[in-house]
A and B are shown apart, each in its own frame.
Chain A
Amino acid sequence: MKVFKRAMAIALSACMVASMTAGCTGSGDTGTPSTGTETGGTETGGDTTGGDTTGGDTTGGSAEGGTINVWAFTDEVPGMIEKFKEAHPDFNYEINTTIIATTEGAYQPALDQALAAGGADAPDIYCAEAAFVLKYTKGDMASFACPYDDLGIDTQAKIDEAQIAQYTVDIGTNPDGKVVGLGYQATGGAFIYRRSIAKEVFGTDDPDEIAKIIGSGSQNWDKFYEAAATLKDSGYGIVSGDGDIWHAIENSSDQGWIVDGKLVIDPKREAFLDYSMELMENDYHNDTQDWSDAWFADMKGEGSKGIFGFFGPAWLINYTLAPNCGGTAVGEGTYGDWAVCAPPVGFFWGGTWVIANKDSAKKEAVGQIIEWITLDCTEDGLQYKWANGTLNGEGGTKDCVASATVMAMSDGTLDFLGGQNMFDVFGEANSYANGKNLTQYDETINQYWRDQVRQYTSGQKTRDQAIADFKQNVAANLDVTVE
């Protein structure tokens, strides 16, 4: 089989070089790497008409056929592409999916190898998660990402039309200022609180009123801590653990962890030490850690004291709060007892970006898929179905999407939120989120930072010692200058 493939590749390579340079829309970099050319031959080798159908326009690209390699870390995006194929019967490419989990940190090494190696198995489309997307759009692997413009997409016009959340565009823009990655989901965060506790303590559960009480959009935490003190007097905690406020604090900083290769502790991030200590000393929380049993218990209101709210995006409501609220209908557990309002400081949490390989031989087809997923703001586009939960039939999960245009057309009303339309809040939250203070090392550095903050708040070491140890960890493990 292998010998056969190789022979095919050699026999067809001459014709392929011609067809591929003709096929790619004027971006000269496709034909250059020799591995890409050779394997391109094995890919589309079965299609003898490949040479003459490459007209250059979109329909011509579809007729060509071949295989598109998709790399992802869950089956979410591959599932969407299935739906895309169902909706576009004339799209006659085979999709070859590779899914590698991010657990054990295996996705990135495998993806990096596959991108660097090129060839038949090289990904045409690949997904990156918020924790490591920077590496693929701005960082060490950015050189592999293909600008959306080169995929035959009128990117800027489409972004404006769909009103794509700015932070997702910022993250997906490469150092040359070109958009190379966008998402479908928007993960701007809100404050998600318990209506019953709000009524009892503040006399109202109206999102606008609660927003004022916790200082929504104020860019500082003063009001929030005042509210925490009030809640404490009634025996409630404002959040479950310090991890809940971390995402907001992280995203509010003016600078990322690394500026010009040097470690920077932004004053707003450094203040997390004090905010976390304040929560601890004043007993404003249940001192849980995110994703632990106790954290989930607080969603049901079964922790050591009642917890007022959580910070999170829409997916936290759908996949975490709702299943763990202790019921599936209003009146059961805390179901229906929740509402969302804007957070004191804008932030986002998680998300998936879709990127194309600049060496892909099927840019037209890749462009069609990516446009449908990330930029199509019509009712036939993915995002409309995603927002209304209709991708896999009626009654699916409603989720926030990157396009504000789509959200305005859609209905985000949830029984879980007592009938509130969450898109009203999340549309705004998406615009507050900041995509400019991230670095590709955030996952690692955040882990060191939060470890030291816990050491400090639990009384194991002093504030200065915690900062010194944090710096030492960063210096010891990363190629970053620490002063």
Chain B
Amino acid sequence: MADEVKEQNTEKTELAEGKKAIRVNVVADKNAGAKNFIVKFGIHTVCILLALLSIFPFWIMIVNSTRSTVQIQEHALSLIPSTYVIQNFQILTGKSFNPAVGLLNSLIISTGSTLLTVYFSSLTAYALVAYDWKLKNAFFKFIIGVMMIPAQVTMIGFYQAVYAVGMTNKLSMLILPAIAAPATVFFMRQYLYPTLSMEIVQAARIDGAGEFRIFNTIVLPMMKPAIATQAIFCFVNSWNNLFTPLVLLTDSKKYTMPIMVSLLRGDIYKTEYGSVYMGLTLTVLPLIIIYLILSKYIIAGVALGGVKS
């Protein structure tokens, strides 16, 4: 694997040199077309390699979900699917929990927290960029400061608090804290700062629009690429979050999908790896779908985000 990276790196430098060459000759050169082709060819090669590297773990995971536990224990990695899909699925559904409920819970938590995070982070960021208020800088510094606190140990306090007020087994305890997402606010603020055109806001004010309406109808659409990016990250994070739900949700009707997979893995004496991979695959599929839906805002191209003046 290290060799591959090296290869890519050398390729990269070659490409960079190629690019330089083009720049020197500018457009008029007759060879430009050919060179352009070579550069593009190089870029595609690198991209295809990177893409293959990215697909690789998914392929392994999906293939393993079709293999029996014994096959997986013999050779953890295989590129060739086997025939144990149904058995693995039966083991997964034969446990004391229901994967469909797990998917639903995961969906509720992830969708809820993603919506809250992106909306309120954008709102907070807008407050930090568009208005002048006394505590603005202090508040911004405070948000940055909060972001830097390591997560592992503040967890202890969070659990204690949740247990103390008896709010375990409530999905809302995993959703509502998402309103305050310092890193997302930071990103939105950094995004909005050079992008936001106060002229447009002023124009809307003159037209008689209220501040809240301006934010919802003018500013939010302007932030689409940022929102899409952060929504993806937030959704993925929330979906894959294991530790917090694991400790807070002890009722099997509230389990999320990752909790169920970790239960399968936790059967130390006879771990059914085939069904673990089946569970992992089922966990990741909805993520991929959501990601593909949201990614159109990133893929669509340049026209989306810009401010038309």
A residues adjacent to B (C-beta < 8 A): 71, 73-75, 78-79, 97-104, 106-107, 109-110, 113-114, 117, 119, 121, 129, 293, 296-297, 300, 315, 318-320, 323-324, 350
Measured in the bound complex, the distance between the Cα atoms of B252 and A319 in whole Å is 26
Is A109 a contact partner of B265 (Cβ separation < 8 A)?
no
**Would you call B251 and A113 a contact (CB within 8 A)?**
no
Pick the residue among B75, B159, B251 that contacts A109 (CB under 8 A): B159
The answer to whether B212 has its CB under 8 Å from any CB of chain A is: no
**CA distance in complex: A65, B42 (Å):** 73
Instruction: Confirm or deny: B16 has a beta carbon within 8 angstroms of a beta carbon on chain A.
Output: no
Residue B263 at the chain A interface, CB threshold 8 Å: yes
Q: Indicate which residue in B69, B97, B246, B263 contacts A110 across the interface (CB closer than 8 Å).
A: B246
Query: Bound state CA distance, A104 and B266, in angstroms?
Result: 9
- Whether B265 lies near A103 (C-beta < 8 A) is yes
* Shortest beta-carbon distance from B104 to chain A in Å: 19
Shortest CB-to-CB span from B270 to chain A, Å, is: 4
Cross-chain contact A109 with B247 (CB below 8 angstroms): yes
Q: Assess whether B163 is interfacial by the CB under 8 Å rule.
A: yes
Contact A106 B263 (CB under 8 A): no
With A104-B243, A129-B268 in contact, do A98 and B252 touch (Cβ < 8 Å)? yes
- Given the known interface contacts A102-B266, A103-B266, A324-B70, the answer about A113 and B96 at a Cβ–Cβ threshold of 8 Å is no
Q: A74-B267, A101-B266, A324-B70 are in contact. Are A110 and B95 (CB under 8 A)?
A: no
User: Bound state CA distance, A293 and B75, in angstroms?
Assistant: 6
Q: Does B269 contact A (CB under 8 A)?
A: yes
Chain A residues with CB under 8 A of B70? 323-324
Any chain A CB within 8 A of the CB of B166?
A: yes
Contact A100 B73 (CB under 8 A): no
Contact B250 A110 (CB under 8 A): yes
Assembled-state Cα–Cα distance A79/B252 (Å) = 14
B242 close to chain A: CB less than 8 A:
yes
Please list the residues of chain B having a beta carbon within 8 angstroms of any beta carbon in chain A.
69-70, 73-76, 95-97, 159-160, 163-164, 166, 168-169, 242-243, 246-247, 250-252, 259, 262-270
Closest-CB distance, A46 to chain B (whole angstroms):
19
In angstroms, how far is the closest chain B Cβ from the Cβ of A71? Answer: 8
Contacts of B264 on A, CB cut-off 8 Å?
A: 101
Q: Report the separation of the CA atoms of residues A100 and B252 in the bound assembly, to the nearest whole angstrom.
A: 9
Report whether B266 and A75 are in contact in the complex, using a CB–CB cutoff of 8 Å.
no
Name the 5 nearest CB pairs between A and B, nearest first: A101-B266, A319-B270, A106-B246, A296-B73, A103-B266
**In the complex, are the beta carbons of A300 and B74 less than 8 A apart?**
yes
Contact in complex: A104, B246 (CB < 8 Å): yes
Tell me, in angstroms, the Cα distance from A79 to B73 when the chains sit together: 26
Closest residue of chain A to B260 (Cβ to Cβ) is: A101
| 24 examples of A-B residue contacts, CB within 8 angstroms | A71-B250, A74-B263, A74-B268, A98-B250, A99-B97, A99-B252, A99-B263, A100-B266, A101-B259, A101-B262, A103-B262, A104-B262, A106-B243, A106-B262, A109-B247, A110-B250, A113-B159, A121-B168, A293-B73, A293-B74, A296-B73, A323-B73, A324-B70, A324-B74
Flag if A114 contacts B266 (CB, 8 Å): no
A293-B76 contact in complex given A104-B242, A104-B262, C-beta closer than 8 Å: yes
CB-based contact A114/B95 at 8 Å: no
Contact with B246, one of A100, A315, A350 (Cβ below 8 angstroms) = A100
Q: How far is the CB of A82 from chain B (nearest CB, A)?
A: 9
Residues A97 and B268 in contact, CB atoms below 8 Å apart? no
Chain A residues near B97 (CB-CB < 8 A)? 99
Closest to A116 in B: B163
Closest to A102 in B: B266
Residue of B nearest to A82 (CB): B96
Complex contact B168–A297 (CB within 8 A): no
